[in-house]
Amino acid sequence: MKRALLLLAGVGFLAASQALAIPVIDPFYAGSYSLVNLGGVPGVPVRYGGINFLAGDPNTLLLGGNANDAAGEIDTIEVIRDGGGHVAGFVGTASLFSAAPFIDGGLAYGPGGVLFFTGYPVNVIGQIKPGSTSPDKTVTAPVTASVGSLAFVPAGFAGAGNLAIASYNDGTFCQAPVTPDGTGTFDIGACGTTTILQGGLEGIVYVPVGSALFPNPSILVSEFDANLVSSYELDGSGNPIVGTRRVFISDLSGAERAVLDPTNNDFLFSTFGGSNDVLRVSGFAAPPPDVPEPSTVTMLAFGFAGLLGFARKLRD
């Protein structure tokens, strides 16, 4: 049963030895990617759950606490960035953002700025509207065994806009559509084609296109039971190709939810249990530069034309 290492005294020594293990990037990827353990987040109750950045604020982190408990919550904390713009630590003590009963490894923004999270072992997906401090809607996840994680498929990947869902108990990975329900939250449809993955699924990240050693569309998956993060290439429908699995990080006790830093595409993820840390992996392809809105471009064009006209008058 999930989280048994926290409940059974007989495996206490095993849990301690896993907590002392040092996570490492697999040698295949080590020349292109680096890993830093940022430690725990002050004020967030241990047994970390999902992780994300606050919508519109790349310097504030969201992190689940009291994971898998009725008292589950999401907290916020400001991050410290180093000279290269990478998250290097945390400022002060976290504060409560929202209640999130039974929060697990899923925490992702969907349409309309609604924050979706997974609940274990109750097999639910909760939805929190902007400004709310508790779930506005909770639905049963469209998988038969309890859901572990979720992520919205980004643009450029097959199934863009769908909700990718991963089951912890049986390894089911699938995509499901979301549709507005007329109240600001969403209905979640049935899963399409399903794929069975191994390791106890808890986190999903879509690898930025153009990243070193990822020539094809790929995802990274946190495998809680295996203490690993693994990579998979995706097929034409956006489902993982089982035979392409490759270890990305090993010796990672309690691998949980993951997210990409919107400023530089660093990979941040939380751990559950013995360590309760946040870790960072750098080296992925950077986000494209911001493109000005059409209105901004138009204003700049008019301004440039005005300057040219003024310069002509000076020459006349």
pLDDT computed for residue 288 by the predictor = 86
pLDDT computed for residue 275 by the predictor = 79
pLDDT at 236 over 60: yes
The domains of the chain are located at: 23-315
CATH 2.120.10 fits 23-315, yes or no: yes
Q: How far apart are CA 147 and CA 165, in angstroms?
A: 7
Question: Could you read off the pLDDT of 53-88 as tens digits, one per residue?
Answer: 999 999 999 999 999 999 999 999 999 999 999 999
Question: Could you read off the pLDDT of 26-46 as tens digits, one per residue?
Answer: 999 999 999 999 999 999 999
pLDDT computed for residue 12 by the predictor = 43
Question: Could you read off the pLDDT of 262-275 as tens digits, one per residue?
Answer: 999 999 999 998 67
pLDDT at 309 over 60: no
pLDDT at 10 over 80: no
Question: Could you read off the pLDDT of 145-191 as tens digits, one per residue?
Answer: 899 999 999 999 999 999 999 999 999 999 999 999 999 999 999 99
> Which pTM value belongs to this model?
0.87
pLDDT computed for residue 205 by the predictor = 97
* Beta carbons within 8 Å of 48's beta carbon, 6+ residues apart: 41, 63, 64, 65, 67, 256, 270, 271, 272, 276, 277, 278
Mean pLDDT of 246-257: 94
Q: Which residue from 171, 276, 144, 273 is spatially nearest to 232, judged by alpha carbons?
A: 171
Q: What is the DSSP string of the chain?
A: -TTHHHH-GGGHHHHHHHHHPPPEE-HHHHTT-EEEEEE--TTSPSS---EEEPTT-TTEEEEEESTTSTT-EEEEEEEEE-TTS-EEEEEEEEEEEEE-TTEEEEEEE-GGGPEEEEETTTTEEEEE-TT-SS-SEEEE-SSSS-EEEEEEPPTTSTTTTSEEEEETTT-EEEEE-EEE-SSSSEEE----S-EE-SS-EEEEEEPPTT-TT--S-EEEEEETTTTEEEEEEB-TTS-B-GGG-EEEEES-TTEEEEEE-TTT--EEEEE-SSS--EEEEE-SPPPPPPPPPHHHHHHHHHHHHHHHHHHHHHH-
pLDDT at 279 over 90: yes
Q: Which residue has the higher pLDDT, 21 or 159?
A: 159
Q: How far apart are CA 48 and CA 172, in angstroms?
A: 22
Euclidean distance between the first and the last CA atom of the chain, given in angstroms as a whole number: 84
Q: Which residue from 98, 106, 94 is spatially nearest to 50, judged by alpha carbons?
A: 106
